């Protein structure tokens, strides 16, 4: 018999066998998480655990995946978890969770055939988890979908009191009657039992149990779309109302656009009581909120089949308004750049700049959706790809090192402009700031004063703290390895 025929003749698992296999897989994942993650700093352990979860999902897969599909799922998992090798961050964890959701849906045969619906399926998967957690006690107690009440819970607890109490009594009698059992009890460490069931371990088990159970048997949240809502939108966003609104919006936005073109892009002189930094700072964040509100309005007004999608005049006004909103986003980014040049760069300001770019990208995608009459699923899919790309690149990049280098290069001590370097903020950036800090120390070496001494002190403290990090392979990352190598190579700088 050939291998292909033996594989095809293999009987599918019964529901009971499948349930037991998933339970064993979940126990394996909980034990693996305990060994890899508990009490350790995040590092390569997250990378190993995430890909271990992917492998387990494919082993217990309910869908009949080909070897090519299984290899594709594993490659997706490896690629998506690559940022965790560089440095553990919430962005890398978010990308890894999304990849695990894709693998789980593929393993369960729930992957949508249309690729544009994959982001919605991932969202529905995560939305279904809270409901499953809420219903879990009912399934454990064998009550199906019935709600577990406090009286039923107490009756279950009371049902276990007598068996557990009698079992403990029998063990006590056996320890008296049998010296071997007594010796075994004498060697039991109560402290070991406390460490085995401490709160951190129990919390980790619960989190892994919830996520692992959801991944091993994924469900998709049912989302009902009411047609009444679409009818009410047709009444609210009528053709006449859209024409009036878009005409007024374009006029109001033209005022802001004209001022930005004059003062920001054209370099015209501001009034005497206002600086460019103040002008830039006051407008950066409100303009992004304005662009987001505009995007929501356009999506509601220009939905497929609505009055706005049939009028060429309305479409033209929408194109003009979106173009003005994109220019507002670019102006907000320029405002932020002008402010940062004077008041330095921070992680929050860098995140704001990235967010502004994402909003501008989303507006352009909305414009393309309207122009080519695409669906909202198409828009959500491309927007999700843009968001995932930004998160992936941001998780791979050493943003604290970039911020530290930027602030050093634009400090008054180095460039002769702006404000003095905020050394305390550089300390908050951690060991990633060490190369930039060394550049600063070399530049102010001939200067006497507290700033030079403070820089040296912060440098030595950062290096000392970095070298004292736990040396466990499970907490290893590329970034930590590079930082330690740099510290050992440049040790004389600290002297």
DSSP class per residue in 184-226: HHHH--HHHHHHHT-HHHHHHHHHHHHHHHHHHS---------
Whether the pLDDT of residue 270 is over 80: the answer is no
* Residue 254 to residue 137: CA distance in whole angstroms: 58
pLDDT tens for 304-317 read: 777 777 788 888 99
Give every CB contact of residue 396 below 8 A, 6+ residues apart in sequence.
Answer: 82, 83, 86
**Residues 170 and 176: beta-carbon distance below 8 Å:** no
Whether the pLDDT of residue 246 is over 70: the answer is yes
Whether the pLDDT of residue 253 is over 80: the answer is yes
**Residues 320 and 396: beta-carbon distance below 8 Å:** no
What pLDDT does 227 receive?
Answer: 52
**Residues 88 and 477: beta-carbon distance below 8 Å:** yes
Mean of per-residue pLDDT scores for the chain: 84
* Residue 159 to residue 170: CA distance in whole angstroms: 18
What pLDDT does 485 receive?
Answer: 96
CB-count exposure of residue 408 (10 Å: 0-12, 13-18, 19+): buried
DSSP secondary structure letter of residue 11: P
Specify the residue for token string 């994402």: 358
**Residue 260 is encoded by which pair of tokens?**
């930005």
What pLDDT does 235 receive?
Answer: 58
* Residue 193 to residue 172: CA distance in whole angstroms: 18
**Cα 20 vs. chain centroid, distance in angstroms?**
32
pLDDT tens for 19-43 read: 889 999 999 999 999 999 998 999 9
pTM, rounded to two decimals: 0.84
What pLDDT does 69 receive?
Answer: 94
Domains of the chain, residue spans: 12-140, 151-188, 235-395, 400-494
Q: How confident is the model at residue 198 (pLDDT cuts 50, 70, 90)?
A: confident
């Amino acid at each position: 018999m050939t291998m292909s025929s033996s594989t095809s003749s293999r009987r599918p698992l019964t529901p009971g066998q499948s349930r037991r296999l998933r339970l064993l897989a979940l126990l394996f994942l909980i034990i693996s998480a305990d060994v890899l993650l508990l009490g350790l700093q995040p590092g390569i352990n997250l990378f190993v655990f995430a890909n271990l979860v992917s492998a387990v999902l494919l082993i217990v897969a309910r869908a009949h995946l080909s070897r090519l599909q299984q290899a594709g799922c594993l490659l997706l998992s490896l690629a998506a978890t690559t940022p965790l090798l560089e440095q553990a961050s919430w962005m890398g964890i978010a990308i890894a969770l999304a990849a695990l959701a894709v693998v789980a849906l593929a393993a369960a045969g729930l992957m949508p055939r249309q690729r544009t619906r994959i982001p919605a399926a991932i969202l529905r998967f995560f939305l279904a988890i809270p409901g499953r957690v809420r219903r879990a006690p009912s399934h454990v107690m064998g009550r199906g979908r019935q709600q577990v009440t406090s009286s039923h819970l107490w009756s279950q607890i009371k049902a276990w009191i007598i068996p557990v109490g009698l079992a403990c009594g029998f063990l006590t009698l056996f320890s008296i009657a049998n010296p071997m059992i007594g010796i075994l009890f004498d060697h039991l460490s109560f402290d070991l039992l406390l460490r085995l069931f401490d709160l951190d371990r129990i919390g980790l088990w619960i989190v892994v149990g919830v996520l692992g159970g959801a991944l091993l048997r994924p469900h998709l949240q049912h989302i009902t779309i009411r047609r009444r809502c679409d009818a009410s939108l047709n009444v609210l966003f009528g053709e006449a109302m859209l024409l009036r609104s878009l005409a007024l919006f374009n006029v109001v936005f033209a005022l802001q656009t004209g001022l930005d073109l004059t003062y920001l892009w054209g370099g015209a002189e501001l009034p005497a009581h206002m600086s460019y930094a103040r002008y830039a700072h006051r407008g950066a964040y409100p303009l992004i909120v304005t662009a987001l509100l505009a995007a929501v309005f356009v999506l509601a007004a220009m939905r497929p089949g609505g009055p706005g999608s049939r009028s060429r005049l309305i479409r033209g006004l929408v194109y003009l308004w979106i173009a003005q909103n994109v220019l507002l986003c670019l102006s907000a980014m320029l405002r932020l750049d002008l402010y940062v040049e004077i008041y330095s760069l921070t992680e929050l300001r860098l995140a704001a700049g990235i967010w502004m770019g994402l909003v501008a990208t989303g507006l352009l995608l909305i414009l393309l959706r309207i122009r080519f009459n695409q669906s909202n699923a198409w828009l959500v899919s491309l927007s999700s790809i843009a968001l995932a790309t930004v998160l992936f690149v941001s998780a791979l990049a050493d943003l604290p090192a970039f911020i530290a280098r930027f602030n050093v290069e634009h400090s008054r001590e180095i460039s002769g402009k702006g404000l003095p370097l905020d050394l305390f903020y550089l300390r908050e950036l951690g060991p990633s700031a060490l190369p930039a800090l060394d550049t600063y120390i070399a530049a102010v070496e001939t200067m006497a004063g507290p700033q030079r001494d403070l820089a040296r002190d912060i440098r030595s403290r950062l290096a000392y703290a970095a070298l004292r990090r736990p040396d466990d392979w499970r907490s290893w990352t590329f970034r930590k390895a590079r930082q330690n190598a740099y510290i050992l190579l440049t040790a004389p700088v600290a002297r």
